[in-house]
Each structure stands twice: as structure tokens, then as C-alpha cells.
Amino acid sequence: MTTTATLPGELRDFYEDPAVPVASGASRSIRQARLLAAALGPAGAGARTVLDIGCGDGTAAATAAPFLAGHRIVGVDWSQDALRRAHARLPYAVRGELTGGGLPLRTGCADAVLFSEVIEHLVDPDAALDEIRRVLRPGGHLMLSTPNLAAWYNRALLLAGVQPVFSEVSLRAIHGRPGKEVVGHLRLYTARALREFVTAAGFEVVRVLGAPFHGVPRPLRPLDRLACARPSLASILLLHARRT
């Protein structure tokens, strides 16, 4: 879930708690994997190295693996507890931190990076993208996903004076918004802000798509899927960018 070295002690303890969710919905993982598979092409043309940075328990990478057959997927995470679980799902999983000393990987070693629901947890997302750019080869792919601050229901909640979904004011409890789980979100992005941020970090944005959120109440899920047609309204933002 997180790979930053500059976390205060209370945040380190929070992310090492096995009760904190580290997996995202399968729908997002599948959409992201299909995008990456199309970008990389079949492994018959040469196996590529894909880093799943902030791999958590390895669920997302394991979901993506069938779409990336023949390519090498390496999980990277800061949390020792998450890595212990990831080793059961991934052939390669290493401990790494995006800031501080950086990842234990050579410059330009990766063809693609999966960065799934990680950036919203980071104290220093600028340094994180700098390090991702370092380990990617020129032209390498970044597949980033993050919750959308401007999701369709968040717009309605704000109009009603309710704290948006995905945003948090405490690590101890939920206050003022729907939901039951505290997951440690520190930063949230709209589609426009995410495009501008990634571009400023030295990437060329290829496209931004939408994905549904597995936590949406069942009666509202058809509407959530429809909103994916307009990424600026979708629950989850899926961004594909290339290193310049």
C-alpha cells in the first residue's frame, strides 16, 4: 500500500497493521491490466519487466498476471506485513521505499510501472514520481490509479455539506463521510489535477479512463459503471502515461 520512507511513526504503525485494507477492487485491476497488456504487446516479442510499486498483499498483481503472461512482474512495497502476504501470490517481491534512499533498483530497469491506489497515501508524491521516472526506461509506461475527488457522488455530497468519500480527517475513525474503513488517504486528485501533476513530473499522458469503485452500495453500482464513460465523474481514475 505504501512505499515512502518519510512517514511519521504513527503512519508507519498504521500501514503495518494487518487490519488496514491493502487490496483494491478486481474491476480496476482488470481494466488496468488490459491497458498495460495492450501497451506492452505479447511477450513473444520479448519479455518486459513490470514493477508493481506499492503492491500490498499482491492481489492486484495476481489479478493482472493472466493478462501479462510471459512478462516479469516484480512486487515492491515498504510494508513487511504486506510483503509476507505478497510472496504467496508473486514469484518476485522486494522491499523498497520511494523516497529517502530510493528503490533498490537500477536506473532504467523497468519497462512499466503499476502504481495502483498508492499516490493518495504518500506524504511526498513529487519525490515518488521522480523515483518512478528514474527506474523506468525512456518511453516506459506508467499505469497509475487513484480515487477521484470529483466522483459523481462526491459532487452531490459536497453540495449537501458532507465530507467526500475517499477523504479522511483522522487515522482513528471516520468522521463526516459515508463508509466504515479508515485507509489513510493523505492526497486526492481530480482528473485535471492528476493530468497536470503527472505531466509536470516528466511524463506524457496517453489517456485517462474511469473505473468503478467496489465500495459503492449495490443499488448504485449500475450508475457507477455508467459514470466510467466520463472519467472526470468516475469513482477511480486510471491514467496511462509514458516517460519522456
Distances (CA, A) of 1 to 74, 123, 161: 15, 13, 30
Closest CA to 212 of 156, 125, 161, 145: 145
- Measured CA to CA, the distance from residue 232 to residue 133 in angstroms comes to 25
What local confidence, expressed as pLDDT, does residue 25 receive? 72
- Judged against a pLDDT cut of 60, whether residue 194 lies above it is answered with yes
**Residue 212 — pLDDT band, cuts 50, 70, 90?**
very high
- Measured CA to CA, the distance from residue 221 to residue 94 in angstroms comes to 36
- Measured CA to CA, the distance from residue 64 to residue 155 in angstroms comes to 31
C-alpha grid cell, residue 43: 511477450
Q: Between these two residues, 75 and 97, which has the higher pLDDT value?
A: 75
Q: For residue range 2-50, what is the model confidence (pLDDT) as tens digits?
A: 444 445 555 556 555 655 555 557 888 999 999 999 999 998 878 999 9
State the average pLDDT over residues 211-218: 93
Q: For residue range 94-146, what is the model confidence (pLDDT) as tens digits?
A: 999 887 778 999 999 999 999 999 999 999 999 999 999 999 999 999 999 99
Neighbours of 89 (CB within 10 A): 18
Q: For residue range 216-226, what is the model confidence (pLDDT) as tens digits?
A: 999 999 999 99
Say what the pTM is.
0.90
- Judged against a pLDDT cut of 80, whether residue 202 lies above it is answered with yes
Which residues are bridge partners to 72 per DSSP?
Answer: 49
User: For the chain, first and last CA: distance in Å?
Assistant: 26
**Residue % of the chain over a pLDDT of 90:** 76
Distances (CA, A) of 219 to 27, 90, 223, 224, 234: 17, 35, 8, 10, 16
DSSP string, 177-237: SS-S--------B-HHHHHHHHHHTTEEEEEEEEE--TTS-GGGHHHHHHHTTSGGGSSEE
Scan for cell 505504501, then name that residue: 2
